[in-house]
Chains A and B, each alone.
Chain A
Amino acid sequence: MSKKIRIAAGQGFWGDWLEAPVRQVRGGPIDYLVLDYLAEVTMSILQKQRSRDPNAGYARDFVSQMERILPDIAERNIRVISNAGGVNPRACAAAVRAAANALGLGDKIRIGLVVGDDLMGELDTLVSGGAPFANMDTAQPLSDVRGQVRSANAYLGMAPVVEALRQGANVVITGRVTDTGLTLGPLVHEFGWQHDDWDRIAAGTIAGHIIECGAQSSGGNLLKDWRSVKRLEDVGFPIVEATADGSFTVTKHAGTGGVVNVASVTEQLVYEMGDPHEYITPDGVADFTSIKLKQAGRDRVHVSGIRGGPRTPYLKVSIAWFYGYKAVGTLVYSWPDALDKARAADRILRKRLKTLGLEYEQVLTEFVGVDATHGRLGGVPDPEIAEVMLRVGVRARSKEPVERFTREIAPLVLTGPPSVTGFAGGRPPVEEIVAYWPALLRRELIEPAVRVEMI
Chain B
Amino acid sequence: MATTRMQLRYLAHARSGDKGDTANVGLIALAPALYSVLVDQVTARRVAKHFKGMVSDVERFELPNLNALNFLLHGALDGGGTMSLKTDAQGKVFSTALLRMEIDVPRKLAKEWRVKDD
Contact = CB atoms under 8 A, between A and B. Distances in A.
Interface of A: 40-41, 44, 137, 221, 223-224, 263, 266-277, 288-293, 305, 323, 326, 328, 362, 364, 366, 368, 372-377, 391, 393-395, 433-436, 438
B97 A377 contact: yes
B87 A391 contact: yes
Contacts of A364: 78, 85-86
Given A270-B63, A366-B86, A377-B50, 4 more contacts: A263-B13, A288-B66, A326-B83, A373-B88
A340 to B, nearest CB: 21
Interface of B is mostly: mixed
Nearest to A221: B15
B63 A438 contact: no
B106 interface: no
Q: Which 10 A-B residue pairs are closest in the complex by CB-CB distance?
A: A270-B26, A393-B85, A272-B17, A224-B13, A364-B85, A267-B15, A374-B97, A372-B87, A223-B13, A271-B17
Given A270-B24, A272-B18, A273-B24, A44 B66 contact: no
A18 to B, nearest CB: 22
**Interface range for B:** 35 or more
A271 B88 contact: no
Nearest to A216: B15
Per DSSP, are chain A's interface residues mostly helix, strand or loop, or mixed? mixed
15 contacts: A40-B81, A223-B14, A223-B96, A224-B13, A267-B13, A271-B16, A272-B19, A276-B70, A290-B65, A291-B65, A292-B65, A375-B97, A377-B50, A435-B83, A438-B20
Contacts of A438: 20
B88 A372 contact: yes
A403 B68 CA distance: 46
Contact of A362 (B78, B81, B93, B95): B78
Interface in B41-70: 50-51, 53-54, 61-68, 70
A433 B82 contact: yes
Interface in B23-51: 24, 26, 28, 30, 50-51
A318 to B, nearest CB: 11
Contacts of A273: 17, 24, 26, 61, 70
Contacts of A221: 15
B105 interface: no
A368 B93 CA distance: 14
A272 B90 CA distance: 10
Nearest to B26: A270
Contact of A274 (B24, B62, B66): B24
B84 to A, nearest CB: 8
A425 B68 CA distance: 43
A276 B13 contact: no
Nearest to B20: A137
A433 B30 CA distance: 40
B24 A395 contact: no
